[in-house]
């Protein structure tokens, strides 16, 4: 039934690659024009044709690198606004980097104006916006969302269906089946679909389904188990004629720890200098609103279960109640200033002081309350895994999760980071964090049921 889908959709990634390649050519052409007819002419010894081509090639490579960092080519996964903002960040950082790394060093007659490059960037932004709408329209016309089958247990089906329903332009779940149904019945359902979603179900059942889908060439969307994440980047080793996965589960090592700490000190120091005016303004506004304390200081847990005092801007009314009450949606305890600084994550900025003094890292798992760590550790034995590294201001869970994302899903994201941590990965996540500042959904509180559960148990 789905054989025609295979033929049509197998070239979808090629189509997306062609669109991305054409856009890089167009945006690089804008830079080539301003370089050849303005910046190159001002040089004491202007580049010849090959030199101009080389500079434009470097620009294209930098542009592609930032496109990858900001997920610009994920037209069918990101919303239009998300795509546009991704291109905005790509254009901005590419032009800034090229200005300071190439244009200024090659110009030897004093200050070189950035205005022409800014105007070029505006033109590039217009092209990017139009391009996103055109590509979105074409992809939706050529590749409409395919019917999908969801296989999960009854306790999670409603939750998963709700998540997928938020992006009906991509995911078209037309049928679901409980994983406890007979395997023969599940296989018969899989035969009718090209795309199959497999939830976090019992391992034995999941293995049977995965092998069957592999045999009939289904596309499979799989919710990983923690064990999947642990062995994902394992090295393949052959012991005589027997293959093994070798998973290195050691810490990142002394040298990498030193590099990470130096990186944290430099970035946090720069952040303190850059954000100091904003922190002063926010402090004044908080004080003027209700006369209370400017900072919210609370015990949190970091690497090796160590407790430290986290520093944030106070975004809620002051209370002497020591009971743990998680933030809810539309929480009336949030102040007027608090609503704004929470929406744009400004309340998190003072944590750069925690990073500078060594309590936290720029990138790592979110620092949880002592009560939450105790509660989640009772529910999820593996929750302690995330305490193998320092807590961080940003990280995979902070970028892709929401405030009300379940502890188990956050643990998966944190474990993915722990298994893949490196300086380059940290830099990439810091850039990705810039997108989070405009994503309102990341600041949503727990719903009433989740809040009541945590309040009752913590």
210-221 pLDDT, tens digit each? 999 999 888 899
pLDDT of residue 404: 67
The residue behind tokens 């970035």 is 267
pLDDT tens for each residue of 71-129: 898 887 788 888 999 999 999 999 999 999 888 887 656 678 889 999 999 999 999 99
pLDDT of residue 308: 96
Instruction: Dig out the tokens for 84 from the structure.
Output: 């546009």
Angstrom CA distances, 441 to 250, 262, 374, 393, 436, stand at 35, 33, 27, 18, 9
CA–CA gap between residue 417 and residue 411 (Å, rounded): 10
- The domain limits of the chain are 3-142, 147-223, 254-457
Give the global pTM.
0.83
**Residue 446 confidence (pLDDT):** 46
Which pLDDT score is estimated for 452? 52
In terms of phi and psi (left: phi > 0; alpha: psi -120 to 50; beta: otherwise), the region of 215 is alpha
Residue 286: exposure state from Cβ atoms within 10 A (0-12, 13-18, ≥19)? buried
pLDDT of residue 282: 96
CA distance 374 to 361: 22
Q: Which residues contact 200 (CB under 8 A, 6 or more apart)?
A: 152, 156, 223, 224, 225
CATH number of 147-223: 3.40.50.920
Please tell me the predicted confidence (pLDDT) of residue 77. Answer: 79
Name the residue with tokens 């529910």.
Answer: 379
Question: Which sign does the torsion angle of CA 312, 315, 320, 323 carry?
Answer: negative
The answer to whether 404 touches 454, Cβ cutoff 8 Å, is no
Handedness of CA 324, 407, 364, 282 (dihedral sign): negative
pLDDT < 50 stretches in the chain: 1, 321, 441-446, 450, 453-455, 457-458
SS3 sequence of the chain? CCHHHHHHHCCHHHHHHHHHHHHHHHHHHHHHHHHHHHHHHHCCCCCCHHHHHHHHHHHHHHHHHHHHHCCCCCCCCCCHHHHHHHHHHHHHHHHHHHHHHHHHHHCCCCCCCCHHHHHHHHHHHHHHHHHHHHHHHHHHHHCCCCEEEEEECHHHHHHHHHHHHCCCCCCEEEEEEECCCCHHHHHHHHCCCCEEEECCCCHHHHHHHHHHHHHHCCEEEECCCHHHHHHCCCEEEEECCEEEEECCCCCCCHHHHHHHHHHHHHHHHHHHHHHHHHHHHHHHHHHHHHCCCCEEEEEEECHHHCEEEEEEECCECCCCCCCCCCCECCCCCECHHHHHHHHCCHHHCCHHHHHHHCCCEEECCCCEEHHHHHHHHHHCHHHHHHHHCCCEEECHHHHHCCCCCCHHHHHHHHHHHHHHCCHHHHHHHHHHHHHHCCCHHHHCCECHHHHHHHHHHC
In angstroms, the CA 365 to CA 403 distance is 13
Q: Please give the span between the terminal C-alpha atoms of the chain, in angstroms, as a whole number.
A: 51
């Amino acid at each position: 039934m789905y054989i025609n889908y295979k033929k049509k959709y197998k070239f979808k990634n090629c189509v997306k690659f062609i669109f991305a390649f054409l856009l890089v050519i167009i945006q690089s052409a804008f830079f080539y024009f301003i370089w050849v007819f303005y910046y190159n002419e001002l040089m004491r010894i202007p580049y010849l044709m090959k030199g101009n081509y080389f500079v434009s090639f470097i620009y294209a490579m930098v542009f592609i690198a930032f496109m990858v960092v900001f997920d610009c080519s994920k037209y069918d996964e990101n919303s239009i606004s998300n795509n546009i903002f991704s291109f905005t960040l790509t254009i901005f950082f590419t032009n800034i980097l090229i200005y300071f790394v190439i244009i200024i060093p090659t110009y030897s007659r004093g200050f070189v104006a950035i205005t022409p490059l800014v105007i070029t960037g505006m033109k590039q932004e217009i092209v990017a916006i139009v391009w996103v709408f055109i590509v979105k329209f074409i992809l939706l016309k050529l590749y409409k969302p395919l019917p999908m089958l969801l296989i999960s247990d009854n306790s999670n089906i409603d939750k998963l269906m709700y998540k997928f329903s938020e992006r009906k332009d991509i995911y078209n779940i037309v049928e679901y089946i409980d994983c406890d149904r007979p395997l023969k019945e599940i296989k018969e359902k899989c035969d009718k679909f090209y795309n199959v979603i497999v939830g976090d179900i019992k391992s034995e059942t999941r293995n049977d389904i995965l092998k069957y889908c592999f045999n009939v060439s289904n596309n499979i969307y799989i919710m990983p188990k923690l064990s999947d994440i642990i062995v994902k980047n394992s090295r393949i080793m052959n012991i005589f004629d027997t293959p093994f996965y070798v998973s290195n589960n050691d810490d990142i090592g002394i040298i990498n720890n030193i590099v990470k700490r130096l990186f944290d000190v430099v970035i946090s120091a720069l952040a303190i200098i850059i954000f100091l005016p904003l922190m002063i303004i926010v402090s004044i506004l908080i004080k003027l609103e209700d006369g209370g304390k400017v900072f919210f200081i609370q015990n949190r847990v970091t690497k090796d279960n160590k407790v430290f005092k986290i520093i944030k801007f106070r975004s809620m009314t002051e209370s002497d109640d020591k009971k743990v009450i998680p933030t809810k949606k539309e929480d009336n305890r949030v102040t007027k200033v608090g609503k704004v600084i929470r929406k744009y994550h400004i309340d998190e900025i003072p944590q750069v002081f925690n990073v500078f003094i060594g309590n936290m890292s720029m990138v790592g798992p979110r620092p949880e309350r002592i009560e939450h760590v105790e509660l989640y550790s009772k529910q999820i034995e593996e929750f302690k895994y995330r305490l193998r590294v320092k807590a961080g201001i940003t990280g995979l869970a902070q970028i892709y999760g929401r405030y009300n994302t379940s502890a188990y899903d956050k643990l998966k994201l944190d474990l993915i980071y722990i298994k893949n941590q490196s300086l380059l990965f940290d830099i990439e996540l810091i850039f990705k964090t810039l997108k989070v500042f405009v994503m309102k959904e990341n600041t949503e509180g727990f719903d009433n049921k989740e809040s009541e559960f945590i309040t009752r148990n913590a």
